[in-house]
Chains A and B, each alone.
Chain A
Amino acid sequence: EAGVTQFPSHSVIEKGQTVTLRCDPISGHDNLYWYRRVMGKEIKFLLHFVKESKQDESGMPNNRFLAERTGGTYSTLKVQPAELEDSGVYFCASSQIPFGTGPDGTDTQYFGPGTRLTVL
């Protein structure tokens, strides 16, 4: 079974440009998450999709970030315009247990390798 995949693995852009990151979850996983780790800081939650709907976007830093998951399969995270402080590693994760069933919080999240974003 293929794991979570992310594209690209690295991206280097100039301040003010736009970048789009893509995440393909494990097949059949309705839950998809975005996290990021900026330099020297902890990995932080950004948002959670259940199928194509945003369940929790409390971690999105500002309106320069736009996440989509059309059709409930892969997801994109667009940063427009990029700023220097957006540099870091962006992780995607997916999980299987339907949201709202069972003991939420114990659902294992499987992570992708991350996209390293450098904004110059």
Chain B
Amino acid sequence: AQSVTQLDSHVSVSEGTPVLLRCNYSSSYSPSLFWYVQHPNKGLQLLLKYTSAATLVKGINGFEAEFKKSETSFHLTKPSAHMSDAAEYFCVVSDSGTGRRALTFGSGTRLQVQP
């Protein structure tokens, strides 16, 4: 069975400082990993995805994530936070080897950006 653990429920940073949102996963097969973001009163938007190509994945709005198999991690980073980054972020796994399309979500990390 697959699972995702987001290590922080809330992260607060100052505008212009780096962002680190941590995610660990467990998967029986070769996983596909995603980060989604949900801004207030909006739907879930895909930030980036890892699908066994390059381990460093670049996404939208300056975000990137690195797949580390030895650490079973897929942390999300951004060099400089912007006020508009305040939102809830979800780390998501899909087991490509099972043939199922169901996504498994982490519990979410709420990012607060202080001026």
Q: Are A104 and B43 in contact (CB under 8 A)?
A: no
Q: When chains A and B are docked, how far (Å) is the Cα of A42 from the Cα of B90?
A: 9
Q: Does B54 contact A (CB under 8 A)?
A: no
Q: Does A28 contact B (CB under 8 A)?
A: no
Q: When chains A and B are docked, how far (Å) is the Cα of A75 from the Cα of B101?
A: 18
Q: Does A107 contact B (CB under 8 A)?
A: yes
- Known A-B contacts A108-B46, A110-B46, A114-B43; the reply to A103 vs B96 at CB < 8 A is yes
Q: Are B101 and A104 in contact (CB under 8 A)?
A: yes
Q: Does B102 contact A (CB under 8 A)?
A: yes
- Known A-B contacts A42-B108, A43-B105; the reply to A105 vs B49 at CB < 8 A is no
Q: Does A62 contact B (CB under 8 A)?
A: no
Provide the residues of chain A in CB contact with B18, threshold 8 Å: none
Provide the residues of chain B in CB contact with A58, threshold 8 Å: 102
Q: How large is the interface on A (under 10, 10 to 19, 20 to 34, 35 or more residues)?
A: 20 to 34
Q: Are B101 and A111 in contact (CB under 8 A)?
A: no
Q: Does B103 contact A (CB under 8 A)?
A: yes
A to B contact number (C-beta, < 8 Å) = 75
Provide the residues of chain A in CB contact with B44, threshold 8 Å: 91, 93, 111
Q: Are A95 and B101 in contact (CB under 8 A)?
A: yes
Q: When chains A and B are docked, how far (Å) is the Cα of A112 from the Cα of B42?
A: 8
Q: Are B96 and A105 in contact (CB under 8 A)?
A: yes
Q: Which of B49, B90, B96, B107 contacts A108 (CB 8 A)?
A: B49
What residues of chain A have their CB less than 8 Å away from a CB belonging to chain B? 3-4, 31, 33, 35, 41-45, 48, 55-56, 58-59, 91, 93, 95, 99-100, 103-114
What residues of chain B have their CB less than 8 Å away from a CB belonging to chain A? 31-32, 34, 36, 41-46, 49, 51, 90, 94-108
A42-B108, A58-B102 known, 6 other contacts, Cβ within 8 Å: A104-B99, A105-B95, A106-B32, A107-B101, A109-B103, A112-B43
